[in-house]
Structures are given as C-alpha cells and as structure tokens.
Amino acid sequence: MATAQLPLHAMEPASQVDSGDMSVPSLFTTGPPIRDALETESSLLQDETIDECLPFLSGQAHDHVNAHGVPRLYRDRHVRFLHKQLGTLPPMFKSADPSRPWIFYWCLAGLTLLGEDVESYRSRLVETVRPMQNETGGFGGGFGQTSHLATTYATVLSLALVGGEDAFEVVDRRSMWKWLCSLKQPDGGFQMAAGGEEDVRGAYCAAVIISLLNIPLSLPPDSPARAAGHTGLLSGLGEWVRRCQTYEGGVSAKPGVEAHGAYVFCALGCLSILDSPHRSVPRYLNVARLASWLSARQYAPEGGFSGRTNKLVDGCYSHWVGGCWPLLEASLKGPGKRPAAQTADRSPSQADDSLFDRNGLIRYILCCGQDLSKRGGLRDKPSKYSDAYHSCYVLSGLSSAQHKWELVEARTDEFALDGDKWIVSPHVKGEQIFDEQDRVCVTHPVYTIPPHKAEACQQYFISKEGF
C-alpha cells in the first residue's frame, strides 16, 4: 500500500511549510513518509487520492484559511443542504425508498450537530413513520415493507431526536419486544430481519433499541434462543461479538470475514450497552490488537480514516472509526472523577495524549470533507458529491475529534442499561487548528445522538410500567 499510518499518538512534525502567514505541517503537504515498493491497483488508487487531497490539505484550494491552513466550517450551507434533503426529493431517489428512515436520521442528526433545533419536524416525522410500523413489530423502510433492524434503529433514533411524548408513543413496545425475540438466534446474535442475515450490525441495532426503549429482556418460552440456553435478549451477545474479532484485531460483520471500521464501532457500541466499557470490552475483545488495527486506519498525508486494510480514506469513517476512540479510551481507563480544577482548566498547554491524531482528522474534514460550493453538505473526499449520509457521519467524527468524553461513573448492575455516567468537554490539549466558532455540538459516543436526547428517551420509557 502506498501510504503509511499515522502513529498511535498524535504526530506533529517539527518541519513545517509556510505560505505567508499560513503554517501547515509538512506531513500534510507531501507524499507519505513510507511507501511500499510493490505497485498494485490499490496503491495507484491511493496515489490518486493523495494527489487529489494535497491541494486541499495544504490550503491552496481554498479561498480563505486560518493561520493553520484550515478553512472555516461552512455551517449555514450545510444546514440548508440538510433541510433540503428533508423536503421533496427528485425522482432519482426512488431507489432509496427503503432507506427513508436513514435519510430522516442522517439529516436530523446532522442538523443537531450544527446546532439546529429539529423539534419542529416532530409532527411530520410522526405522521411519516407511523405507517412504517408493522403489526408484528419493528419498522420497515416504508409502508408495507418488511421490518428491519437497521430501519427500526434509524426510526427510533429519529423519534428520539425530535423528542416529545407524541414521538415516543409511536412505538408499539410490546410488538417490538416480540419481534426482537423472534430475531434472537440460538448462537446469541440477531438477524437483521426475519430469515435475514445475522451480523454485528444486528447486535448493535438491537442493543440500542432495547436500551433506549427499555424493552424487557426476558425471552418467551417458545423462543429458539431460549431452547439453546439463553434466557434474555442480551444473553450470549457478548460471546457472539467476540467471535467477530479477526486475526488483524479489527471486527468483521460475522465470524470469519474481513474486518471493517463500521463493524468495530457496532461491536464497541453493543458491548458498552451490555456493561460498562472498561469491563465489557476487555472481557470480549483483545483491546491491544484492536487499538493497533484502529490506529492503522488513519493515513498520512490525508489525516482521515479508511474503513479496511489497504482501502482509501473516506469521510464517513470519521465517525465509524473516529467514533471508536472514546469507547476504546473508556475501556482502557475505566471510570474516574476528574478533580474540579482539572475540569475547569481549559488551558491548551498540556501535550495531547489522545490515541489518535485529532488535528489530522479535523484537517481532513474541514479541508477535504466539505462541499465548498453553494450546494453545501459533507462528502467522502474532494472528488465526490456531498450527501446526507456523509454529512451526518463526517460531522459526528468532527464532534468526536473536537470533544473529550470520559466515563466518570460505572453502573453497579450490568442490567442497568442507563447506569453509566459520562461527561463531555471541549478537547483543548495541544494546538487547536480550527476556529472556536467552528466547534460542533456533542453526540453520545454510544447512541450517536445528543446525550440529553438519549437520556430523555430512556427516562420516558423507564417511567412507564409494563407495556
């Protein structure tokens, strides 16, 4: 592969390239410091990607940049783009009809990250998704479509984002419980749909739905999973996720296939719902190998993440890989309250001790990940068009890089799915290369919605007795 990973700890080379008042580290203005002599189709594509990104990373492709060669976040353009995606879409989107709940989630989540209030969409969302719920439980991609864990996950998160009793009451929790029980497999995992594939997305989506909606965990007597010895929806799930870790250290969709960054996030998110991450993640995964694999996903000179070994950087992995680090750090450090003085100290004088190069990711996002035209939105890389999917996950990754999440109190009972207490603060250690007005809002490291939205949803259903 014609590139080299950034090291596990943040990397700031002493040599820098200056252009007037602009100072950009040479790591982001030249080719990769290490090259593989073997030329392959993958290495040629990587060379093309580097050539494509370098003018943006060096600041030369932007009209206005700050002293670090980083453009501003074009917030207003991105807000307009996401609002437009929630309106009437052109005929070419017919093929995306089964993904409508995802479009709702991507746009609503992206808008909240940009500081927008999305509660005004509540009545429209309720009216739209109610017919997508099947009597047998769960939500399909549209009216009359089969219920699927992915579209159900996206719908539940969308309802949590707009909030309010009207939104929460859309969900038929009894039928949801029955449907989830039917998807639970004898090996501990979940099918994505009745008779469908079983993979780590199912583990994560089911765990999120169960946690946010306070779904009872007990399996009915006729459950095939109960016949295999499982008594609850989450029984054996950690053991199933463990089987998905590969020889490289990453996590695959199912046992025996290639590791992928999005599946690592799903695995860490699932395990962080099963128990506090400092207990559950080391219990089921080899953390050292996982950290090594994740660190290898961050490339130089791009600064962004790839999703698989020998694959290209892509803006969406700003979340799928970048969002893994808060959960991995929590699994390594465990809970611990910070002294009040440290909490209040926002001095950037201390060296950045993060497990990934935050500034490298921020530079990639702001330099390469923004559609700089009037269209707005976020994208995979400069040659790609912006879309709702990338807008959501690029902004989520930016939030992870700009903020520091810490687990300060672990649950006393692993079945208390809302028992962990997290705090979040602006990340200020080391040099800040972006302007403060370009800091986005926070998103929960497990649920990928604002923490107060996740808490409001959980507490509403915890307060309800039975179904």
pLDDT at 353: 84
| Whether residue 83 lies in the annotated active site | no
pLDDT at 1: 38
For the chain, the distance separating the N- and C-terminal CA atoms, rounded to the nearest angstrom, is: 54
Q: Which of 205, 263, 297, 314 is catalytic?
A: 314
* Bond before 450 cis per omega within 30 degrees: no
pLDDT at 346: 47
Q: What is the mean pLDDT of the chain?
A: 91
| Whether residue 279 lies in the annotated active site | no
The Cα-based distances of 177 to 8, 26, 210, 466 in angstroms read: 42, 54, 8, 12
For the record, the structure tokens of 23 come out as 């100072």
| Whether residue 230 lies in the annotated active site | no
**Spatial CB neighbours of 144, under 8 Å, sequence gap ≥ 6:** none
CATH of the domain at 403: 1.50.10.20
| Whether residue 385 lies in the annotated active site | no
Residue 26 lies in a domain: no
Q: Which of 311, 358, 363, 381 is catalytic?
A: 311
Residue 9 lies in a domain: no
Residue 5's DSSP bridge partners are 299
Q: Residue 384 pLDDT > 90, yes or no?
A: yes
pTM for this one? Answer: 0.93
Q: What is the DSSP letter of 186?
A: T
Which is nearest to 1 in space by CA: 28, 41, 31, 30?
A: 41
Q: Are 294 and 321 in contact (CB under 8 A)?
A: yes
pLDDT tens digits along 232-247? 999 999 999 999 999 9
SS3 418: coil
Q: Are 237 and 274 in contact (CB under 8 A)?
A: yes
| Whether residue 308 lies in the annotated active site | yes
Residue 404 lies in a domain: yes
Residue 4's DSSP bridge partners are 300
Residue 224 lies in a domain: yes
Q: Which of 184, 201, 260, 278 is catalytic?
A: 260
pLDDT at 352: 80
Residue 422's DSSP bridge partners are 407
Crossing angle, helix 451-462 and helix 149-162, to 10 degrees?
A: 100
Q: What span, in angstroms and rounded, lies between the C-alpha atoms of 271 and 239?
A: 10
| Whether residue 278 lies in the annotated active site | no
Q: Residue 278 pLDDT > 60, yes or no?
A: yes
Which is nearest to 266 in space by CA: 330, 183, 323?
A: 323
Residue 192 lies in a domain: yes
Q: Which of 77, 308, 427, 453 is catalytic?
A: 308
Residue 16 lies in a domain: no
pLDDT at 337: 58
What is the band of 9 on the pLDDT scale with cuts at 50, 70, 90? very low
Residue 202 lies in a domain: yes
What is the band of 402 on the pLDDT scale with cuts at 50, 70, 90? very high
Q: Which of 379, 381, 390, 427 is catalytic?
A: 390
| Whether residue 380 lies in the annotated active site | yes
Residue 423's DSSP bridge partners are 406
Residue 348 lies in a domain: no
Let me know the angle formed at the C-alpha of 439 by 266 and 50, rounded to the nearest 5 degrees: 65
Task: Please compute the mean of the pLDDT values over residues 92-99 and round it to a whole number.
Answer: 87
Q: Which domain holds residue 389?
A: 45-88+108-336+354-463
Lowest model confidence (mean pLDDT) among 2-16, 50-64, 71-85, 313-327: 2-16
| Whether residue 403 lies in the annotated active site | no
What is the band of 225 on the pLDDT scale with cuts at 50, 70, 90? very high
Q: What span, in angstroms and rounded, lies between the C-alpha atoms of 362 and 375?
A: 21
Domain count, the chain: 1
